[in-house]
Amino acid sequence: MVVNMREEEMEKKIFKGRIKVPYKHTAGPYVEKFITEIGKKNKIWGVRCPKCKKVVVPPKMICFECFEKMEEWVEVGPQGTLEGFTVVTHETPVMPLKPPFAYGIIKLDGADTGFVHVIKEGDPEKLKVGMRVGAVFKEKPRKRILDIEYFKPI
């Protein structure tokens, strides 16, 4: 037997409350290894594409240009070139630091791609595209990307 009820005939019940859903999140094996190496040894690694030979940092499983699986791990330098940046002057609760500081796109020595990270120390107004920066590692790593605490001009 099929019963069709109109919406106005149904009793509406509303329950207010919270549902706790415990979960664990993984960034995947490539980013996991990348972050672990930073935390254990203050070393930064990328992966090399077997076809185009580009070194990608942070590492990705598949080359975005060739669509080849990348499995060759390559250590890159803790220093690099600033390819672009923005200076942060206003504070919000989600920022990792008190302004002023900058977010920069940094191409590390030995890498063919840039990645975004915090730039601190010195006057942010003196930052220039093309300048050299170096990684400053946390003394007590926590297995996070912020184990590279920030980059500073060198």
Residues 6+ apart with CB under 8 A from 152: 119, 120, 121, 122, 133, 134, 136
d(CA 34, CA 39): 9
Per-residue pLDDT for 142 more than 90?
no
Q: Work out the average pLDDT over 65-92.
A: 95
Q: Work out the average pLDDT over 86-97.
A: 89
Say what the pLDDT of residue 3 is: 57
In the predicted model, what is the mean pLDDT of the chain?
A: 89
Say what the pLDDT of residue 25 is: 64
The HSE-up count of residue 3 (CA atoms within 13 Å, CB side) is: 4
Q: Work out the average pLDDT over 16-39.
A: 82
Say what the pLDDT of residue 127 is: 95
Say what the pLDDT of residue 4 is: 62
For the chain, what are the domain ranges? 27-153
Say what the pLDDT of residue 60 is: 94
Task: Compute the Cα dihedral for 68, 145, 133, 103 and give only its sign.
Answer: positive
| Predicted structure pTM score | 0.78
pLDDT tier for residue 44 given thresholds of 50, 70 and 90: very high
